[in-house]
Chain A
Amino acid sequence: MNSGDTAFMLVATALVMFMTPGLALFYGGLVRQKNVLGTMMHSIFCLGMVSIIWVIYGYSMAFGPDIGGFVGSLDWIGLKSVGLAPGPYSDTIPDLLFCAFQLMFAIITPALISGAYAERMKFSAFLLFTALWLTFVYLPVCHWVWGQGGWLGKLGALDFAGGTVIHINSACAALAAAIFMGKRKGWGQEALHPHNLPMTILGAAILWFGWFGFNAGSALSAGKTATLAFFTTQIASGCALMSWVVAEWIIQGKPTTLGAVSGAVAGLVAITPAAGFVGPLSAVIIGIVAGALCYSVIFLKTRFGYDDALDVVAVHGAGGLWGALATGLFASVYWNPDGANGLFFGNPIQFLIQAAGAGASIAYSLVLSLVILKIVDTVIGLRVSEEDEIMGLDLSQHSEIGYTQ
């Protein structure tokens, strides 16, 4: 046990918790005024529901004793045998602290998906979808990569802070939801404008701040690797901010603030799997590519006609996939001896392992998410009625309004 590491991880855990309200602000500003509370509730409610699931069986299924490399067993149900002494995942912090840190990841991941089905999902359907998705998609995929005995981890896939587990995983669910649920009323005909961009900018700032806990904290100790992850996080995010803005300036003629914060988040997503494995100059390249790439993927939804309302697929899907592959290109044992070398450092196999890991989670998450959506749609119906959609989620689902008239 190490008190420095424990203090650092307590703070990092609180920082990651703060990202979920940050996400609520980020998404809340992007929707129309009549849906601001309904949209923020999707994130805020996860702080409650996922906490309960985590204690009862979630942590056990993600990190408990391995079953065939696929999922953790229910042996640790109710956090049985998870105590205050260091556990199997770290020698220097209490087992319960690792459990708390991982809980914050499990909270924000289903909240990320909500950007895709924003402005049209029934609250009851959101509850059931989130509980089922967490149980049958997040917990197994988390086990594959980070759980002891998980098959992707054993294969040697590198995912420092969750590019595959969190971002690719949630973006595939987002794509499935956007396609399965159909478009918002008025999509392509009326302007579905963001109603409060300063709120979105504040939310992005909170996400960025919290991301230092997310990435640096994934080192699980206050030392060299945490410092590397901290620094690459800042550099990649800043570079992606620049490259998104420059790309849209060239293509559409104006640099926008929404472009700046979207680029920053895209950079944070892309560096997430690589943060503790790559050097600062690699982070520059990862960031520059992330900004321009995610900006260009924005246009796919218009071309293919799926209504991913808040661009989860472009930002978290494209950014997460690029980050997972980039880890296989730029990882270097010079920077982290516990990692591996990537393609550019003489180890092409690592790139293939990264691609296999990303591909497996894409396939699994897409298929399972569609099955879960179908079940929820059959049992309670996913979409609000047309009348409720026009009225807005705030009034129709929660009997509140965000702003007095």
Chain B
Amino acid sequence: MKKIEAIIKPFKLDDVKEGLNEIGITGMTISEVKGHGRQKGHKEIYRGAEYVVDFIPKIKIELIVNAEIVEQVVEKIRSSANTGKIGDGKIFVLPVEDVIRVRTGEHGKDAV
């Protein structure tokens, strides 16, 4: 089992969610986060005063999948979140030791 964490542009969330639904992934957790990579921030102007805002809003998607479909899921997220411009985000893949379903107590693959 692997955990996939993807940081994407907020307006791409629907595309990514639909793309994942198409390949049978129905569960995920998302959160609104702020950060920057190479994109840097943007400029704001209020009455002559210019501010550079370093951290810009992003969406973080977290999901756990079985190891054999990791490549397929990562590719789906990458293609549906892609705009070709700087700031599209990053995807991280991490190992997961165990998964437990709270309702039934199932472990491992059965609980994913």
* Stretch in B44-52, B57-65, B85-93, B97-105 with 4+ CB within 8 Å of A: B44-52
In the complex, whether B53 has a CB less than 8 A from a CB of chain A is yes
The answer to whether A252 and B48 have CB atoms under 8 Å apart is: yes
Interface size class of B (residues with CB under 8 A): under 10
The answer to whether A252 and B50 have CB atoms under 8 Å apart is: yes
Closest-CB distance, A192 to chain B (whole angstroms): 8
In the complex, whether A254 has a CB less than 8 A from a CB of chain B is yes
The answer to whether B48 and A299 have CB atoms under 8 Å apart is: yes
Q: Which of A274-328 contact B (CB under 8 A)?
A: 295, 298-299, 302, 311
Q: How many A-B residue pairs have CB under 8 A?
A: 26
Chain B residues, Cβ within 8 Å of A256? 45-47
In the complex, whether A78 has a CB less than 8 A from a CB of chain B is no
The answer to whether B46 and A193 have CB atoms under 8 Å apart is: yes
In the complex, whether A262 has a CB less than 8 A from a CB of chain B is yes
In the complex, whether A388 has a CB less than 8 A from a CB of chain B is no
User: What 0/1 pattern do residues 50 to 84 of B give for CB contact below 8 A with A?
Assistant: 11010000000000000000000000000000000
Docked Cα-Cα span, A278 to B71, in Å, equals: 76
The answer to whether B49 and A302 have CB atoms under 8 Å apart is: yes
Complex: chain B residue closest to A254, CB-CB: B45
In the complex, whether A95 has a CB less than 8 A from a CB of chain B is no
The answer to whether A191 and B51 have CB atoms under 8 Å apart is: yes
Please report whether the interface of chain B is mostly helix, strand, loop or mixed according to DSSP.
Answer: strand
Instruction: State which of A258, A299, A302 has its C-beta within 8 Å of the C-beta of B46.
Output: A258
User: What 0/1 pattern do residues 182 to 195 of A give for CB contact below 8 A with B?
Assistant: 00000000010110
The answer to whether B53 and A298 have CB atoms under 8 Å apart is: no
In the complex, whether A94 has a CB less than 8 A from a CB of chain B is no
Docked Cα-Cα span, A262 to B48, in Å, equals: 11
The answer to whether A295 and B46 have CB atoms under 8 Å apart is: no
The answer to whether A311 and B45 have CB atoms under 8 Å apart is: no
Closest-CB distance, B36 to chain A (whole angstroms): 15
Q: Which of A178-235 contact B (CB under 8 A)?
A: 191, 193-194
Docked Cα-Cα span, A256 to B46, in Å, equals: 8
Complex: chain A residue closest to B48, CB-CB: A298
Select the residue from A191, A262, A302, A311 with max chain B CB neighbours within 10 A: A191
Complex: chain B residue closest to A262, CB-CB: B47
Docked Cα-Cα span, A256 to B44, in Å, equals: 10
The answer to whether A298 and B47 have CB atoms under 8 Å apart is: yes
The answer to whether A191 and B48 have CB atoms under 8 Å apart is: no
Docked Cα-Cα span, A365 to B62, in Å, equals: 61
Q: Which of B22-48 contact A (CB under 8 A)?
A: 44-48
Docked Cα-Cα span, A259 to B44, in Å, equals: 13
User: What 0/1 pattern do residues 255 to 278 of A give for CB contact below 8 A with B?
Assistant: 010110010000000000000000
Select the residue from B44, B47, B51, B53 with max chain A CB neighbours within 10 A: B47
In the complex, whether A248 has a CB less than 8 A from a CB of chain B is yes
Complex: chain A residue closest to B47, CB-CB: A298
Closest-CB distance, B94 to chain A (whole angstroms): 31
Docked Cα-Cα span, A311 to B47, in Å, equals: 9
User: Residues of B at under 8 Å CB distance from A?
Assistant: 44-51, 53
- A to B CB contacts below 8 Å, 23 in the list: A191-B44, A191-B51, A191-B53, A193-B44, A193-B46, A193-B51, A194-B46, A248-B45, A248-B48, A252-B48, A252-B50, A254-B45, A256-B46, A256-B47, A258-B46, A258-B47, A259-B47, A262-B47, A295-B48, A298-B47, A298-B48, A299-B48, A311-B47
Known: A256-B47, A302-B49. 11 other contacts (CB 8 A): A191-B44, A191-B51, A191-B53, A194-B46, A252-B50, A254-B45, A258-B46, A259-B47, A295-B48, A298-B48, A311-B47
